[in-house]
Amino acid sequence: MADFDYDLFVIGAGSGGVRAARMAAGFGARVAVAEDLYLGGTCVNVGCVPKKLYVYAAEFGKGFRDAQGFGWDSGEPVFDWATLRDNKQVEISRLNAIYRNILGGANAQIIDGRARILGPSRVAVDGREFSAGKILVATGGWPYIPEFPGSEYAITSNEVFDLEDFPQRLVVVGGGYIAVEFAGIFNGLGADVTQLYRGPLFLRGFDQDLRQHAAQEIAKSGVDLRFQTQVASLRPGINGLHVTLDNGDTLHADAVLYATGRKPNLAGLGLENVNVRCDDKGYIAVDAHFQTSEPTIYALGDVTGGMELTPVALAEGMAFARREFGGLDARPEYDFVPTAVFCQPNIGTVGFTEEAARAEFGDVEIYKSTFKPMKHTLSGRDERSLMKLIVDRATDRVVGVHMVGPDAGEIMQGIAIALKAGATKAIFDSTIGIHPTAAEEFVTMREPWSGN
């Protein structure tokens, strides 16, 4: 590859791109990374990291009220949006600098600007041209707002973190991770939140029991959930945004957040100059080793339409670098990938849903438990947790675990290790629990659900 300026040219400095660049450079490759927006990608800047910080902020409001049942009375707390917003930005700037240092420390060159592919081995950035033996596209996804009358007045998750003023009345449109999480965040921060979803129940693709339980608990927390409802139009008025729904109802809001999906971030990338095939949804088509239909061009992460999770992109970036520059036959494994939805209460899940398990294994056993978290026996908060195990009856292997409740994401990481290792229900049953914790419920559910 000595005839090229670089062995690897990475377009996009998000989680997957940075991991691939750093690993490839570690194997001795000459690497460049082009980024036109912000180092760290969606997760660091307008995704996982700021979202989790805002979730912490939202939980404090309920925590102050909970504390009264334990004897604490500090008066009525006051929330200041500007403090949260600005402190968040300081933290994000710190992380941006860390990503820059990580790449610099690995001897990968950072090129600030939007890269455009000119040919199978040529890339241009702001008028400068570079050649590379391999080009990796890791530009991620971008929020999408469908066109409708007044759609220009809606905002996305890119803007919601940094609003100048706190939206006292917020309408959230969508039924996936992002919509559910932001509805909970702003509800917890004190806004009046209405969440609209065009389908009969949000979180499509998750276990049905989990979806129903989450809807029940989120509604109890104060979010106005309206299913099978869409926005017909938006228009500004003297009292904020006037929201007309498809059923004729109207709402007034300070902001309308659209979280109805993301599209691959491919604008201006120059794919028309090469033989890179995209699927019918616009995602870059790749094989098991992230190679596109143009042999020198690769793609990974959200831009390929797989699991849109930061740890998945990291695993893909590592596998790509190990194979292409480390001589290792590496590929990520996509079975039993855990995930969490940081709504309130949290959702954690790994493995098969009940519906998918019945289709895959046929005969399954279901174990379920619902209960009031111990903390709320004194706090008085009206909240219940759900825990569910799905077992393949033929092998006794636990093939799905689902939870709605405090710290579900933290708990599910350990459960995921067990499922990845092939743990059976007998192993769960023989494991001694930690008492008193919510997590011990997973090793004390002895009787199958009677409705099975």
φ/ψ (deg, to 5) at 3: -75, -5
pLDDT at 84 over 70: yes
pLDDT, mean of residues 378-392: 96
Q: Catalytic: 435?
A: yes
Compute CA distances 222 → 340, 357, 380, whole Å. 21, 33, 15
Structure tokens at 292: 């596109």
Per-residue confidence at 2, pLDDT binned at 50, 70, 90? low
Asked if residues 290 and 135 have their Cβ atoms less than 8 Å apart, the reply is no
Note the pLDDT tens digit of each residue in 421-430: 999 999 999 9
Rounded CA gap, 221 and 37, in Å? Answer: 36
pLDDT at 190 over 70: yes
Is pTM, for the whole model, over 0.85?
yes
Note the pLDDT tens digit of each residue in 273-282: 999 999 999 9
Rounded CA gap, 192 and 197, in Å? Answer: 17
pLDDT at 437 over 80: yes
Q: What is the pLDDT of residue 330?
A: 87
**341 Cβ contact list (under 8 Å, min separation 6):** 177, 180, 181, 203, 214, 347
Rounded CA gap, 92 and 40, in Å? Answer: 9
Asked if residues 200 and 234 have their Cβ atoms less than 8 Å apart, the reply is no
Q: What is the pLDDT of residue 244?
A: 98
Per-residue confidence at 76, pLDDT binned at 50, 70, 90? confident
pLDDT, mean of residues 290-296: 98
pLDDT, mean of residues 117-135: 98
Asked if residues 252 and 242 have their Cβ atoms less than 8 Å apart, the reply is yes
Through-space distance between the first and last CA atoms of the chain, rounded to whole angstroms: 60
pLDDT at 59 over 80: yes
Q: What is the pLDDT of residue 75?
A: 85
pLDDT, mean of residues 186-203: 98
* Residue in 213, 376, 402, 435 annotated catalytic: 435
The fraction of the chain above a pLDDT of 70, given in percent, is 99
Domains of the chain with CATH codes: 6-143+263-326 (3.50.50.60), 151-260 (3.50.50.60), 339-443 (3.30.390.30)
Buried b (16+ CB within 10 A) or exposed e, 249-275: eebebbbbbbbbebbbbbeebbbeebe
Q: Please provide the average confidence, as pLDDT, over all residues in the chain.
A: 96
Q: What is the DSSP letter of 432?
A: P
pLDDT at 357 over 60: yes
Rounded CA gap, 245 and 248, in Å? Answer: 5
Q: What is the pLDDT of residue 407?
A: 96
Q: What is the pLDDT of residue 74?
A: 80
SS3 398: strand
SS3 102: helix
